[in-house]
């Protein structure tokens, strides 16, 4: 089109959570081409299948374009709506929310499916005064965050990752394809090209495991046993990095072994030792092997003994933490693990040896002088080139926290934490163990017309940090930070609807869901959750009285809204990948990024951030209101520029181009031209740390001081790795009645005492104990395909051609034994429910596991697909088989089907049996739901054929 | 391959037309006394109709029939292009032949000889369209040429017998006998090709298709679940039962029933033979296993 | 003579389909577009793509390889699709070896696609012409683009860098070096089409452990003592 007007604008992709830099080419105002930004540090020009299909998302007929109200007189769930204006919408919300805020703020619950916007949504919730706020992390991978952060002060996720540039061997355990996906794919490509060895440990060989040099199939949920056996082998052969363990972990710290003492299992404190940080004292003991006596930890010239049993001068029996780890793994032999994992003992030994020998014999030495926190100067940065990566595969089990702690400990044993070739942190991590944000400590933290007395989400350090009432009962609707799930750092979004419906711990009034498909793939036990959403009290009112859904697309969930707020797409909005939230940092320093609109919003779509700013202004939330009581911010872009975490703190949502002139980084006064400066730089800001601050950051003095100055950390004390977790022991002592302060309800004491083990252990998934494994012998898993992001992309005309429906993948032999034909219809049944689906034989799945792609199956008519679309007729949702709660206990109450430590939803624990569908059954997936129809404001879907040619101003 | 109906009609209609021309010319040459000019002119008209219908049918095969003229451009390399030239040329000669008979213009033997050459050329062009596709082993063989030609001539001969039954009764018997002999011959040759094709080993395997040497390779995804051109064009998509039915119709229609009927009821024999030929051509496509199909074996 | 081609590295292709949709988005609004989709929001959605990623399982459990296999026109040196075309719409460029279809000349007879053993031509049912990979001929020569970006869309998109682009007749090009040094192979050599595109096979990096490597003289057990009573191989010291 020679006469077309074309332009190119940069922004940040949001077709998944990876957040690549993109360049959007427009022709006559229409999106012609979205390419990876070659100058962007995250993706360096590459882009994935989803990113390349942004056009079909932008122009999707599933888009909502008008604020909608449930038609008066129609039933919730009937999907009948009428258009209203934004003014009316805000009036409704303002009236309802200001009443709740003035009476009982916790009756307002805000849960967001998408995170990465939590700096704002969390601030809003906190300012509103409701504790009932979280994003989807609870059913995503909070175990990964918590398990590692409580051990090494950082995690995979956006917070750190494998240094594949320098690693020699790489172990990927479980499915981990999604977060940071493009950079990981690129790194894997380079790693393999450079001759690196890639081992995939996974029940299924798909995704990245496809290109692994070795695939080790493992039974789901048994990774912990494997890792403990590897740890044992590493210890048995002396393949651990002793220097690293002695100096940078708590391996040498002495642990009280006096069983009669209330301090049993706690680190011995040295009253004369250097406290370092009174908020988090570091006054421990080592048993110096050179002088054979207890000394303050990190005494110059001392070397801690790692094994043994000693008596302190006062007679207190003590052991070094590492001795306790050694005792813990003594029985975790490869043969023991072989029985559990299905991996033969010889293989377990072999990979342990591989890891240990590589770490020991292929040391990397970089000529980078640095100084550790205790003042010792090091001439080089050394690294052991063994890298790991894991995500949901380990996390989404009820034993995930301890499994992931095992992994972090193994990585520490090999001396690979924040060192070249191993695991590298990304700013703002490493952070203290645990990070400093704390939830309120009790119901008194929730007061009318008052901001919440703490962070809605945080990191409990001791039982006293729990958010419980005097009886030890939860204050949050999702029971996060209660004794049921003490370390639930990301909340338990997966239990919100069930709890609110049951009124346990209390009923709520208004539930605001942002971009969360809670009536479909984001809820376990989907069918019943849908019933709960429409269930009524005896008085005829809904059990959840008011549901507001904000989304850019019509989903299964919008049908259950009383009010629908049409969100914009990522190409139509301002956004921040903020250092206060989850930035896109690189190993060598902080990076944050923004989105800047490249096209104008469709119809009356309004970015959710603008809705939040508008509501905050109307509700006069303090942080959003001037001293005079006027609105402080004109809108979201204005807010981002001018908001500071504290008056004059110089820390805001964006770290780049701060200061009036835009000449300051990380910290500085608000800069009125900050957005323009980001835009000029391709919508990201990158800060390169000097080489001496790029490694060993848990203990790197120069980095610590800089991080504190830059506002990444409150303190600058060292972050010593918790091989032994005294923090967990604190909860166990409370459960055993040995600790003053908050006490768990009696019925939970045993559960807490069992799971809050200061040393990693493996136990079967909770659901196993609850299930007749003879009847339901198989594990059932879902994984996310690389070309689809959750349920987002079935409305995408290009992506849905790649994954139009899903099969259940069954090991060929398993399927044959069950009498199920390849391609035939079958049933998968758990104790909670059943689905009818199509079977696909596979040799790439271990015989005890069946699996399918996540969220390809859709409800009929949802996402503006026709009611006979394959997604609903042949596609299916595994969620129908999974329960959000475990079986009722003796008292009739039910625990969340989650990790008892973190509340991580145990999606991957479900057990099923399979059998063929009978002849004559409909060749259609089960269950089915009444078809949804489009709502007002939605574009007519194109029937027949469609051909996109940008710039013609009409789709042919 | 998925049988293309336009092509089934094209090749069978013009084949019969070409065959009829050869039969008529043979009559003029060998038994000039038994044929009238009107008989030959009428026969030419039938050929004209058959070939024109074939030509029209062929247009339905094209995405852009309005550009059909372009298809004559590449006669140096493309048998399809050559056919595009040869078919109208044959029609023209047939028209001239008929006109010459009808108007008494004469020179019919000369024109007829040109027509015979054109008919043969057209048989070659048509058959070579298929026989020249090296990747389709079922087609890429001299038998394809033999069968297109032989089946065309046979059906034309049967038609000639039927036609003669009405307007040149003297010739009915010899033409029927010729048709009978040709049908037997065609049965042998088509049988030979069926026999050959049933025993073919594909040149390509899944191993050569993706370049991985392992006896067990199973496709799990084709990259598109809602079908594609590749799943539509190269697979007939019919059940084994249906295909068997087609084979039965072919054997009965092209060979068995005409052999029984041609000597007595040649018109019925022709109608049945033509139907049989449609089945034969359908199966000709359906039995051809395209190597691209190796890439389209399974999905999920 | 130049012969442009893609070399696809199966050793690092993770099957993410980036090449598939990025090809689609570049080409649908480009010189080869628009690429039609049928039933975009109905049952059996399908459409024209120049490039697809397929998946194969090789072997039996547990010795299974999952192979992701991208497939597009191979730009054969002796392309069977070209001579059969009756109109000359299907042609191979002398200048760079790219096999193209001139949509204005194509009559949609599909004959070229029958002649191709690879199934890489897709008939666009709406435009009724044959379409295929153009190696993004409308961007690889675009001098308005920086030189590094004058590559096919699929190559630029590919996250693990599994797609190389260059002149296979230039022995020093990245593609020639990759083919030469990493055992690049052609598909279906039996058809003698001489595909310009090549594939690089899987390569395995193994790990060999020799017994005497398990223990080293500086084993920390010398400091810490042996941790468990059983299962202990001898230390180097003891061995000597």
Count Cβ atoms within 10 A of the Cβ of residue C148 and give its class: 0-12 exposed, 13-18 middle, 19 or more buried: exposed
Integer Cα distance of A823 and B220 in angstroms? 11
Asked whether the beta carbons of residue A843 and residue B300 sit closer than 8 angstroms, the reply is no
Residue C239 has pLDDT above 50, yes or no: no
Evaluate whether residue B112 is within a structural domain. Answer: yes
Q: In what order do the strands lie in the sheet with A133-134?
A: A81-83, A68-70, A563-566, A546-551, A510-514, A108-112, A133-134
For chain A, the average pLDDT equals 96
Contact assignment for C213 to A842 by CB distance below 8 Å: no
Q: How many CB pairs under 8 A join B and C?
A: 180
CATH code of the domain covering residue B75: 1.20.1630.10
Residue C189 forms contact with B (CB below 8 Å): yes
Chains A, B: CB contacts within 8 A come to 21
Is B299 a member of any domain?
no
What was the pLDDT predicted at C227?
Answer: 84
Residue among C33, C67, C220 whose CB faces A242 most closely = C220
Residue A198 to residue C207, Cβ atoms within 8 A: no
Q: Which stretches of A683-755 are assigned E, i.e. beta strand?
A: 684-686
- Residue contact A840–B220, C-beta within 8 A: yes
pLDDT confidence of residue A117: 86
C65 touches chain A (CB under 8 A): yes
CATH top-level class for C4-200? alpha beta
> What's residue A157's pLDDT?
82
At A121, the pLDDT band (50, 70, 90 cuts) reads very high
Q: Show which subunits contact A, needing at least 3 CB pairs below 8 angstroms.
A: B, C
pLDDT of residue A2: 60
Residue B212 touches partner A, C-beta closer than 8 Å: no
Question: Which of B215, B216, B226, B300 best tests the A interface by mutation, with the highest count of A CBs <10 A?
Answer: B300
Q: Is the pLDDT of residue C238 over 90?
A: no
CA distance B49 to chain A (A): 37
All residues of chain C having their beta carbon less than 8 Å from the beta carbon of residue A217 are 61-62
The residues, any chain, with a CB within 8 Å of residue A575's CB and separated by 6 or more, are A12, A14, A117, A594, A595, A607, A609
Does B214 sit within 8 Å of C59, measured CB to CB?
yes
CA–CA separation, A685 vs A697, rounded Å?
21
Mean pLDDT, residues A798-816: 98
From the list C25, C35, C149, which residue is nearest A52 (CB)?
C25
Q: Can you tell me the distance from the alpha carbon of A848 to that of A852, in angstroms, rounded to the nearest whole number?
A: 14
Q: Is A52 within 8 Å of C21 when comparing Cβ atoms? A: yes
In Å, how far is A858's CA from the nearest CA of chain C?
A: 13
Task: Give all strands (DSSP E) within A622-675, no chain letters.
Answer: none
How many structural domains does chain B have? 1
Residues of C in contact with A198 (CB under 8 A): 205
SS3 state at A470: coil
Residue A679 near residue A595 (C-beta atoms within 8 A): no
DSSP string covering A41-71, please?
TTTTT---TTGGGHHHHHT-TTB--S-EEEP
Q: Tens digits of per-residue pLDDT, A836-880?
A: 999 999 999 999 999 999 989 999 999 999 999 999 999 999 999
pLDDT of res. A908: 97
Q: Quick one: pLDDT band at residue C232, thresholds 50, 70, 90?
A: low
Q: Which candidate from B216, B223, B300 shows the least CB-CB separation from A807?
A: B300
Q: Which residue of C has its CA nearest to B129?
A: C84
Judged by CB atoms closer than 8 Å, whether chains meet at C153 and A35 is answered as yes
pLDDT score for C236: 44
- Condensed to tens digits (0 to 9), the pLDDT of residues A396-417 reads 999 999 999 999 999 999 999 9
Domain annotation covers residue B173: yes
Residue A353 in this model has a pLDDT that exceeds 50? yes
Mean pLDDT of C41-64: 97
Count of alpha carbons within 13 angstroms of residue A19, beta-carbon side: 26
The answer, yes or no, to whether residue C235 has pLDDT greater than 60, is no
Lowest mean pLDDT among A448-457, A624-633, C220-229: C220-229
Number of H helices, E strands in chain B: 11, 1
Interchain contact B248–C (C-beta under 8 A): no
Kindly determine whether residue C48 and residue B62, on different chains, have CB atoms separated by under 8 Å: no
Interval C99-155: pLDDT, tens:
999 999 999 999 999 999 999 999 999 999 999 999 999 999 999 999 999 999 999
Of C15, C204, C225, the CB nearest to A307: C225
Residue range A905-911: mean pLDDT, rounded: 97
Q: What share of chain A is helix, strand, coil (3-state, %, to 5)?
A: 30, 20, 55
DSSP, collapsed to helix, strand or coil, labels residue A200 as strand
> Is residue B300 domain-resident?
no
B236, part of any domain: yes
C231 contact A CB<8A = yes
Report the alpha-carbon distance of residue C138 to residue C98 in Å, rounded.
Answer: 12
* Cα–Cα dist A729/C44, whole Å: 56
Whether B73 and C87 lie within 8 Å, measured CB to CB: yes
Please list every residue in chain C whose beta carbon sits closer than 8 Å to the beta carbon of residue A240: 220
Tens of pLDDT along A609-623?
Answer: 999 999 999 999 999
Q: Which ranges in A220-344 belong to alpha helices (H)?
A: 223-236, 242-248, 321-329, 334-341
pLDDT value at A129 more than 50: yes
The answer on pLDDT for C230 being more than 80 is: no
The answer to whether residue A559 scores a pLDDT higher than 90 is yes
Residue among B216, B226, B300 whose CB faces A870 most closely: B226
pLDDT for residue C229: 61
Verify whether the Cβ–Cβ distance A801 to B218 is below 8 Å: no
Question: What are the residue ranges of CATH 3.30.70.20 in chain C?
Answer: 4-200
Q: Is C16 on the interface with B (CB under 8 A)?
A: no
With contact defined as beta carbons under 8 Å apart, do A725 and A758 qualify? yes
What pLDDT tens digit does each residue of chain B (300 aa) get? Answer: 999 999 999 999 999 999 999 999 999 999 998 889 999 999 999 999 999 999 999 999 999 999 999 999 999 999 999 999 999 999 999 999 999 999 999 899 999 999 999 999 999 999 999 999 999 999 999 999 999 999 999 999 999 999 999 999 989 999 999 999 999 999 999 999 999 999 999 999 999 999 999 999 999 999 999 999 999 999 999 999 999 999 999 999 999 999 999 999 999 999 999 999 999 999 999 999 999 999 999 999
pLDDT, one tens digit per residue, over A367-399 is 999 999 999 999 999 999 999 999 999 999 999
Angle at Cα A629 formed by Cα A628 and Cα A635, nearest 5°?
115
Contact B218 A870 (CB under 8 A): no
Q: Which DSSP category does A863 fall into?
A: G
Q: Which of C 99-118 lie inside 8 A of A, CB atoms?
A: none
Quick one: chain B helix, strand, coil %, rounded to 5? 75, 0, 25
* Residue A739 tokens, joined: 């600790």
Distance separating alpha carbons of residues A876 and A842, to the nearest angstrom? 18
Q: Is A3's pLDDT higher than 80?
A: no
Q: Say if residues A327 and C227 touch (Cβ distance below 8 Å).
A: no
Q: Omega of the bond prior to A434 within 30 degrees of 0, cis?
A: yes
| ipTM score for this prediction | 0.95
For residues C59 and A844, the answer to whether their CB atoms sit within 8 Å is no
Which residue in A38, A811, A941 is closest to C61 by CB distance? A811
Q: Which residues pair with A468 in a beta bridge?
A: A474
Q: What is the DSSP letter of A252?
A: G
pLDDT at residue A63, as a whole number: 97
Asked if residues C49 and C122 have their Cβ atoms less than 8 Å apart, the reply is: yes
Report d(CA A937, CA A378) in Å as an integer.
Answer: 65
**Which of A184, A798, A805, A956 to mutate against chain C (most C CBs within 10 Å)?**
A798
Cβ <8 Å between C66 and A237 = no
Percentage of chain A beyond pLDDT 70 is 99
pLDDT of residue B30: 93
Q: Do C219 and A238 count as a contact with CB atoms less than 8 A apart?
A: yes
| Secondary structure (3-state) at A520 | coil
* Spatial separation of the C-alpha atoms in residues C46 and C28, rounded to whole Å: 15
CB contact at 8 A, A734 and A744: yes
Domain that holds residue B53: 5-211+222-294
> Is A955's pLDDT higher than 70?
no
Distance from C-alpha of A293 to C-alpha of A288, rounded to nearest angstrom: 5
Nearest to B225 among A803, A842, A843 (CB): A803
* Three-class SS state of C96: coil
Q: Which residue has the tokens 């980078």?
A: A368
Q: Measure the CA–CA gap between A126 and A112, rounded to whole angstroms.
A: 14
Which of A413, A943, A946, A953 is the best substitution to test chain C (most C C-beta atoms within 10 A)?
Answer: A946
pLDDT of res. A953: 67
Q: What is the pLDDT of residue A954?
A: 59
């Amino acid at each position: 089109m020679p006469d077309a007007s074309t332009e190119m604008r940069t922004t940040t992709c949001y077709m998944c959570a990876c957040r690549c830099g993109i360049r959007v080419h427009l022709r006559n105002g229409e999106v012609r081409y979205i390419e990876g930004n070659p100058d962007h540090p995250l993706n360096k020009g590459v882009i994935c299948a989803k990113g390349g299909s942004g056009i079909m998302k932008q122009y999707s007929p599933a888009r909502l374009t008008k604020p909608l109200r449930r038609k008066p007189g129609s039933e919730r769930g009937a999907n009948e709506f009428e258009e209203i204006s934004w003014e009316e919408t805000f009036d409704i919300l303002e009236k309802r929310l200001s009443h709740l805020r003035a009476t009982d703020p916790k009756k307002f619950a805000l849960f967001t499916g998408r995170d990465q916007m939590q700096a704002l949504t969390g601030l809003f919730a906190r300012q509103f005064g409701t504790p009932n706020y979280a994003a989807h992390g609870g059913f995503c991978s909070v175990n990964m965050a918590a398990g590692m952060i409580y051990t090494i002060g950082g995690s995979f996720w956006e917070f750190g990752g494998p240094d594949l540039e320098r690693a020699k061997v790489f172990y990927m355990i479980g499915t981990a394809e999604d977060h940071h996906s493009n950079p990981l794919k690129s790194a894997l490509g380079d790693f393999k090209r450079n001759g690196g060895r890639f081992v995939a440990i996974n029940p299924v060989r798909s995704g990245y495991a496809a290109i692994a040099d070795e695939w080790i199939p493992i039974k789901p949920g048994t990774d912990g046993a494997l890792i403990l056996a590897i740890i044992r082998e590493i210890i048995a052969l002396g393949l651990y990095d002793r220097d690293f363990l002695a100096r940078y972990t708590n391996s040498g710290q002495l642990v009280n072994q006096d069983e009669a003492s209330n301090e049993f299992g706690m680190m011995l404190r040295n009253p004369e030792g250097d406290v370092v940080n009174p908020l988090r004292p570091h006054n421990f003991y080592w048993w110096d092997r050179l002088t054979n006596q207890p000394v303050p930890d990190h005494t110059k010239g001392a070397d801690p003994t790692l094994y043994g049993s000693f008596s302190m001068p006062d007679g207190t029996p003590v052991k070094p933490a590492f001795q306790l780890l050694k005792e813990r793994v003594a029985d975790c032999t490869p043969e023991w693990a072989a029985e559990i994992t299905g991996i033969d003992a010889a293989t377990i030994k072999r990979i342990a040896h591989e890891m240990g020998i590589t770490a020991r014999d292929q040391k990397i030495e970089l000529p980078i002088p640095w100084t550790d926190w205790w003042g010792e100067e090091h001439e080089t940065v050394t690294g052991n080139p063994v890298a790991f990566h894991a995500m949901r595969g380990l996390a989404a089990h009820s034993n995930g926290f301890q499994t992931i702690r095992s992994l972090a400990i193994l990585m520490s044993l090999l001396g690979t934490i924040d060192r070249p070739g191993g695991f590298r942190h990304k700013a703002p991590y490493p952070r203290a163990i645990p990070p400093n944000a704390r939830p309120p400590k009790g119901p008194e933290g929730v007061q009318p017309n008052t901001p919440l007395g703490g962070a809605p989400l945080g990191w409990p350090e001791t039982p006293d940090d729990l958010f419980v009432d005097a009886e030890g009962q939860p204050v949050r609707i999702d029971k996060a930070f209660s004794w049921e799930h003490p370390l639930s750092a990301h909340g338990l979004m997966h239990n919100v609807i069930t709890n609110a419906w049951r009124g346990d711990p209390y009923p709520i009034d208004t539930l605001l869901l942002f971009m969360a498909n809670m009536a479909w793939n984001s809820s376990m036990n989907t069918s019943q959750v849908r019933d709960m959403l429409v269930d009524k009290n005896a008085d005829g009112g809904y059990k959840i009285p008011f549901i507001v859904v904000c989304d850019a697309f019509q989903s299964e969930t919008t049908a259950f809204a009383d009010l629908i707020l049409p969100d914009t797409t990522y190409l139509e909005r301002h956004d921040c990948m903020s250092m206060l939230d989850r930035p896109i940092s690189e190993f060598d320093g902080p990076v944050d990024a923004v989105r800047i609109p490249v096209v104008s919003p469709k119809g009356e779509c309004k970015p959710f951030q603008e809705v939040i700013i508008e509501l905050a202004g109307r509700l006069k939330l303090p942080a959003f209101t001037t001293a005079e009581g006027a609105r402080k911010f004109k809108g979201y872009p204005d807010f981002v520029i001018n908001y500071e975490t504290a008056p004059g703190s110089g820390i805001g949502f964006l770290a780049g181009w701060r200061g009036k002139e835009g000449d300051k980084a990380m910290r500085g006064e608000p800069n009125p031209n900050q957005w323009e400066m980001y835009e000029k730089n391709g919508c990201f800001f990158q800060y390169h740390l000097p080489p001496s601050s790029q490694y060993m950051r848990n203990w790197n003095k120069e980095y610590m001081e800089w991080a504190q100055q830059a506002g990444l950390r409150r303190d600058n004390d060292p972050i010593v790795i918790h091989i032994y977790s005294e923090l967990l022991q604190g909860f166990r002592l409370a459960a055993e009645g040995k600790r003053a302060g908050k006490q768990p309800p009696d019925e939970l004491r045993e559960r807490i005492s069992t799971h809050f083990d200061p040393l990693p252990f493996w136990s079967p998934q909770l659901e196993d104990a609850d299930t007749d494994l003879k009847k339901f012998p198989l594990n059932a898993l879902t994984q996310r395909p690389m070309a689809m992001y959750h349920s987002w992309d079935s409305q995408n005309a290009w992506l849905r051609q790649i994954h139009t429906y899903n099969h259940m993948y069954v090991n060929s032999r398993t399927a044959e034994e069950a009498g199920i034909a390849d391609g035939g219809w079958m049933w998968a049944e758990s104790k909670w429910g059943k689905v009818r689906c199509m079977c696909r034989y596979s040799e790439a799945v271990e015989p005890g596991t069946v699996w399918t792609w996540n969220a390809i199956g859709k409800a009929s008519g949802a996402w503006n697909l026709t009611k006979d679309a394959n997604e609903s007729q042949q596609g299916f949702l595994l969620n129908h088989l999974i329960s959000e709660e475990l079986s009722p206990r003796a008292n009739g109450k039910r625990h969340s089907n989650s990790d008892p430590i973190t509340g991580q939803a145990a999606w991957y624990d479900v057990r099923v049996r399979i059998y063929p569908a009978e002849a004559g059954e409909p060749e259609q997936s089960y269950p089915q739901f009444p078809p949804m129809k489009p709502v007002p404001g939605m574009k007519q879907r194109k029937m027949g054929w469609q051909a996109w040619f940008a710039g013609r101003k009409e789709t042919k | 391959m998925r049988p293309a109906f336009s092509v089934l009609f094209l090749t069978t209609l013009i084949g019969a037309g070409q065959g009829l021309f050869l039969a008529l010319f043979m009559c003029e040459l060998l038994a000039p006394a038994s044929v009238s000019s009107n008989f030959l002119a009428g026969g030419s008209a039938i050929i004209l109709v058959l070939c024109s219908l074939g030509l029209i049918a062929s247009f339905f095969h094209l995405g852009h029939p309005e550009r059909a003229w372009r298809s004559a451009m590449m006669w140096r390399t493309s048998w399809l292009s050559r056919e595009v030239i040869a078919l109208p040329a044959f029609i023209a000669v047939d028209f001239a032949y008929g006109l010459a008979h009808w108007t008494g213009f004469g020179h019919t033997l000369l024109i007829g000889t040109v027509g015979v050459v054109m008919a043969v050329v057209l048989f070659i062009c048509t058959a070579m369209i298929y026989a020249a596709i090296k990747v389709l082993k079922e087609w890429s063989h001299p038998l394809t040429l033999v069968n297109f030609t032989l089946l065309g001539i046979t059906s034309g001969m049967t038609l000639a017998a039927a036609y003669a039954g009405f307007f040149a009764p003297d010739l009915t018997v010899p033409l029927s006998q010729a048709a009978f002999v040709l049908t037997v011959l065609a049965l042998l040759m088509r049988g030979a090709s069926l026999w050959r094709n049933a025993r073919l080993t594909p040149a390509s395997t899944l191993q050569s298709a993706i370049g991985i040497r392992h006896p067990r390779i199973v496709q799990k995804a084709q990259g598109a679940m809602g079908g594609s051109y590749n799943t539509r064009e190269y697979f007939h998509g019919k059940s084994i039962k249906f295909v068997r039915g087609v084979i039965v119709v072919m054997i009965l229609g092209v060979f068995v029933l005409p052999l029984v009927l041609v000597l007595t009821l040649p018109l019925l024999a022709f109608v049945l033979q033509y139907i049989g030929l449609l089945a034969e051509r359908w199966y000709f496509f359906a039995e051809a296993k395209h190597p691209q199909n190796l890439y389209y074996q399974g999905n999920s | 003579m130049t012969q442009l081609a893609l070399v696809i590295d199966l050793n690092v292709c993770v099957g993410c389909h980036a090449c598939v949709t990025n090809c689609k988005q570049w080409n649908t609004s480009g010189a080869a577009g628009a690429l039609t989709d049928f039933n975009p929001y109905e049952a059996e959605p399908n459409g024209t793509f120049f490039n697809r990623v397929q998946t194969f399982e090789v072997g039996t459990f547990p010795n299974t390889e999952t192979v992701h296999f991208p497939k597009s026109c191979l730009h054969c040196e002796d392309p069977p699709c070209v001579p059969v075309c009756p109109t000359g719409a299907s042609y191979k460029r002398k200048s760079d070896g790219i096999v193209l279809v001139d949509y204005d000349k194509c009559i949609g007879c599909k004959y070229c696609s029958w002649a191709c053993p690879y199934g890489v031509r897709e008939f666009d049912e709406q435009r009724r012409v044959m379409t295929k990979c153009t190696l993004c001929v409308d961007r690889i020569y675009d001098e308005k683009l920086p030189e590094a970006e004058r590559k096919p869309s699929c190559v630029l998109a590919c996250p693990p860098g599994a797609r190389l682009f260059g002149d296979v007749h230039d022995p020093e090009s990245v593609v020639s070096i990759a083919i030469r040094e990493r055992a690049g192979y052609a598909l279906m050599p039996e058809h003698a089409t001489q595909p310009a595109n090549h594939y690089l096979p899987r390569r395995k990096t193994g790990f060999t452990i020799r017994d005497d490597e398990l223990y080293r003289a500086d084993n920390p057990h010398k400091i810490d003592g042996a941790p468990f009573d059983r299962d202990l191989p001898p230390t180097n010291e003891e061995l000597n």
